[in-house]
Amino acid sequence: MPEFILMKICLSPTLDKILKNLKYSVLGLSLFIVFNAFAIQKACAEANIKATAEKQLVIHEVEHLSKVLTLDRIYKSMEGPTDNQNFRFVESDTSELIWLVGMEVDIVGEDGKTSQAPSFLCHTNVSFDSTKLNSKTRREVFGLSPKHVLDYKFIDMVQGHNKIDFPKHFGVPLLSNEPFKLSSMVMNWEQRDKPIGVMVKMIAKYVYDRDFDEDMIPLLRKGSALQVPIKKNKTGKTAGADSDHAGCATEMKNEDDGELFQSASDANLIKHKDGEIFSYHWFVPPGRHVYRYTLDYGLRIPWDTTLHVIVPHVHVYATYIELRDLTENKSLFKGKSQNFKNNLGLESLDHYSSEQGIPVYKDHQYEIVTEYNNPTKNDIDAMAMMYMYFRDKEFDKKKMNYSLIPKID
């Protein structure tokens, strides 16, 4: 080909444009590959991190069955057969930090498997065994100050709310091999042709602190109960204390409407500083009644913090239970309850669980409010409690001192 023709082709505008486009296309393709390689690498890394975290956070379960509890007659709330056991999360000579993250309770038959009516459940709770590890020693082991006061119970399951799972990365810090007390009670509202034997099955869920690098957020449990004032008789004694059914003749005055009521149990009487007697287990007469109680010591928390879990406890015919901040004049939580349609008992009860939580304050005043609507012609027994789990602002696992743990049998 002649030289001038070749030069003409190379300098042709069309060919020059084609070559430039080709150049930019190759560059674009290269950048596309590079950027996508980074994106793929990042996605894979995130997937590996997620898979590793999921792999590390293994949830363990420990199951316990009560003895066979016989229901041979009507047992109202707080009157039924009970079972008390000692148990540990881990049978080991070595203590290590674990986190309770959930619990579930079911009623089963004598075989320990066959499901029975959930209305048979009154309550199940797990508490610290102070005879094995007292409060002072526990605080020293966990690196806590004297102002850090634990309730002796740290979890409760009740009728209408038989399962709890704490928010992700939240839990109650415990020692793995420490002995705890497990207490269960059943109830029965119906007269039966023949006795029935049931068992309470408890499944507790926990994780080992050593299984993951991310710190868990510690929860501190505090229980609060609505209380009503008890009226004394002329002798100055609590009326009904010597009756055949403890407390059945005890009268209580609701300050809101002036009605007189009966205490359900003298075992639940509390004497306040001014000498006045209160009870957190009382009888509700027929009709609709609202009860209010200002918590004398607030929420009993030593710092301003956040509230992450609320497990309410009410009895049959309650319509709601509410927690109010009187200082700010606002409602923090209002849980409604639903009764079974075909038989007596609570089918469901609203609860609260949140990673974000509700801001609460050590110096604020708080109030518990509940409403009962009794459709019967007789008095019914009532309670209104809240088991609350707050973010523990003091616990730090780095301050734990395992050398202070006494030998536990």
> pTM here?
0.79
The CATH number of the domain covering residues in 57-217+395-404: 2.60.120
Per-residue pLDDT of the chain (409 residues; tens, 9 = 90+): 444 333 333 444 454 554 455 455 545 545 445 455 555 555 555 544 444 444 457 899 999 999 999 999 999 888 899 999 998 999 988 899 999 999 999 999 999 999 999 999 999 999 999 888 888 999 999 999 999 988 888 888 988 889 999 999 999 999 999 999 999 999 998 888 899 999 999 999 999 999 987 889 999 999 999 998 876 533 343 333 222 222 222 333 344 444 434 555 666 677 777 777 888 888 899 999 999 999 988 999 999 999 999 999 999 999 999 999 999 999 999 999 998 887 788 888 999 999 999 999 999 999 999 999 999 999 988 999 999 999 999 999 999 999 998 887 6
**pLDDT at residue 407 in the model:** 80
Are 281 and 264 within 8 A, CB to CB? Answer: yes
Instruction: State the Cα–Cα distance between residues 379 and 357, nearest whole angstrom.
Output: 37
- Do residues 285 and 379 touch, judged by C-beta distance below 8 A? yes
Residues of the chain with CATH 2.60.120: 57-217+395-404, 224-391
**Which CATH architecture best describes the domain 224-391?**
Sandwich (2.60)
* pLDDT in the model for residue 45: 52
Looking at residue 79, what is its pLDDT?
87
- Give the pLDDT of residue 406: 86
